[in-house]
C-alpha cells in the first residue's frame, strides 16, 4: 500500500482498466445492499467508456500508485440546469480500491474534480449516495469534502 500516487486524466486506452474498477465498485454496492441492482459487462463497459472519452462526454481521472497500477478513479459529466445557474458537474462514480482507502486518495480525486470543474466554469458538483445505513461512511466522506445535503432522492425510469 503506497501513499505515493499520481492522478491523470484518462484517455481512451485507459478504458479497460477503469472498466475493471467500475465492475469492482458495482459488485461492492450490490454486495452491500443485497440486490442485483446493476447489469455489468466488462467488454461493453470498456467500449462505452472508450466512446464517452473519445467524444468528451465523460471525464475520468485515474489515480496510479508508484508501480503504475490503478488504485482508484473518479468520473464526471457536464449538465446544465436553471436551478444550478448554468453548467455543473455530476460525479456518477468514485472508487478507491479497498487497500488504498486510508491514504487520502479519495480526497485527492475529489479535489481534482473540483479543480477541473472550476476550469470548466461549473457552478457546482453534485453526487448522489443512497440514504441507507450501508452508505453512512460514504456520506460522511462527502460531508468531509464539503458536500451538503440538498434534499430529494434520486429516481429513475428505464427507457
Q: What is the pLDDT of residue 3?
A: 63
For 106-119, write each residue's pLDDT tens digit.
999 999 999 999 99
The mean pLDDT of 62-75, rounded to a whole number, is: 95
Question: Quick one: pLDDT band at residue 4, thresholds 50, 70, 90?
Answer: confident
Concatenated DSSP letters of 74-136:
EEEEEEEETTTTEEEEEEEEEEE-GGGTTTTHHHHHHHHHHHHHHHHT-S-EEE---SSGGGH
- Supply the mean pLDDT for the chain: 93
The mean pLDDT of 77-100, rounded to a whole number, is: 96
- Rounded to 5, what percent of the chain is helix, strand, coil? 40, 25, 35
Q: What is the pLDDT of residue 151?
A: 76
The correct CATH number of 5-128 out of 3.40.50.12280, 3.40.190.10, 3.40.640.10, 3.40.630.30 is 3.40.630.30
Res 128 pLDDT > 80: yes
Q: What is the pLDDT of residue 2?
A: 47
pTM: 0.93
For 8-52, write each residue's pLDDT tens digit.
999 999 999 999 999 999 999 999 999 999 999 999 999 999 999
Amino acid at each position: 500500500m503506497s501513499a505515493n500516487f499520481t492522478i491523470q486524466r484518462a484517455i481512451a486506452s485507459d478504458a479497460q482498466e477503469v472498466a475493471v474498477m467500475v465492475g469492482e465498485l458495482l459488485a461492492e454496492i450490490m454486495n452491500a445492499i443485497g440486490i442485483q441492482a446493476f447489469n455489468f459487462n466488462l467488454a461493453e463497459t470498456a467500449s462505452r467508456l472508450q466512446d464517452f472519452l473519445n467524444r468528451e462526454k465523460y471525464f475520468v481521472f485515474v489515480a496510479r500508485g508508484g508501480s503504475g497500477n490503478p488504485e482508484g478513479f473518479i468520473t464526471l459529466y457536464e449538465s446544465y440546469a436553471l436551478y444550478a445557474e448554468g453548467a455543473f458537474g455530476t460525479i456518477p462514480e468514485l472508487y478507491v480500491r479497498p487497500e488504498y482507502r486510508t491514504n487520502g486518495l479519495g480526497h485527492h480525486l475529489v479535489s481534482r474534480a473540483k479543480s477541473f470543474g472550476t476550469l470548466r466554469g461549473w457552478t457546482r458538483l453534485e453526487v448522489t449516495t443512497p440514504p441507507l445505513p450501508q452508505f453512512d461512511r460514504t456520506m460522511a466522506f462527502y460531508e468531509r469534502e464539503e458536500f451538503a445535503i440538498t434534499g430529494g432522492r434520486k429516481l429513475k425510469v428505464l427507457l
